[in-house]
Amino acid sequence: MSPRIVEIIYQMIAFLFAISVHESAHAWTASRCGDPTARMLGRVSLNPIRHIDLFGTIILPLVAAISGIPLLGWAKPTPVNPRNFRHPMMDDILTSVAGPVSNFIVATGALFLLGAISLSSDSGRAIVMQVAHGPYNGIASDSALVPLAMLLFMLMIINIVLAVFNLIPIPPLDGSHVLRHFLPDSARMVFDRIGFFALLALVYLGGGLLSGLIRPFLRFYVSMLVKF
């Protein structure tokens, strides 16, 4: 199997896990805040089948992975009924940011596991360093730690990308739920209507801006990794 095919497989596994964690966090937090809608529909689950959107979860990420462009996509939206919240504004914000926060938690967990591999032996450190500086450039080792380190590194990267992307305050991204509560009614209506077009413009025309937002977080995590 070619290194490129292996890379695509790892990316898709990591992406499916990341979106499952993300949507489960939304559903679990909404339930804790008084809205059982998503929980009753079985969305508090790490089973990716419960969260898959055919285009956003399968087709788009696969095309992105094959094309070599940043892997972005989305899951089936988690159904939330804000009228069930005990504290509508705060609970909506908490439910929204729970997704990105959960991705940062997974990314941090992957970072520490990679750190444990690095500290386990000289060969473990060599594997992690090679993964961090180019995970699919032919690591010369038959150790079972190689695929594990590759998967953990991809989990770290994709969860960071998903977390930062979703915190951008543009509808329908999670970050917009924080901003919209502080806008007057007239501005909120415009914000909701033009948000999707602003998102498309950001993804397709603002690649440099998007990369500029995500890159500092990636650099921070990689810099922490090489310190182990």
Active site residues: 23
If phi > 0 it is left, if psi is from -120 to 50 it is alpha, else beta; for residue 78 that is beta
Mark out the alpha helices in the chain (DSSP H runs): 3-32, 37-40, 60-67, 88-120, 122-132, 145-166, 176-179, 185-205, 207-226
* Rounded distance between C-alpha atoms, residue 61 and residue 72, angstroms: 6
Q: Look up residue 163 and give its two tokens.
A: 């977390």
Residues 6+ apart with CB under 8 A from 20: 45, 46, 47, 48, 50, 51, 75
Long-range contacts (CB closer than 8 Å, 24 or more residues apart) made by 29-33? 29/94, 29/95, 29/98, 30/78, 30/80, 30/85, 30/91, 30/95, 33/85, 33/86, 33/87, 33/91, 33/94, 33/95
Rounded Cα distance, 73 and 130, in Å: 28
The residue type of 78 is: T
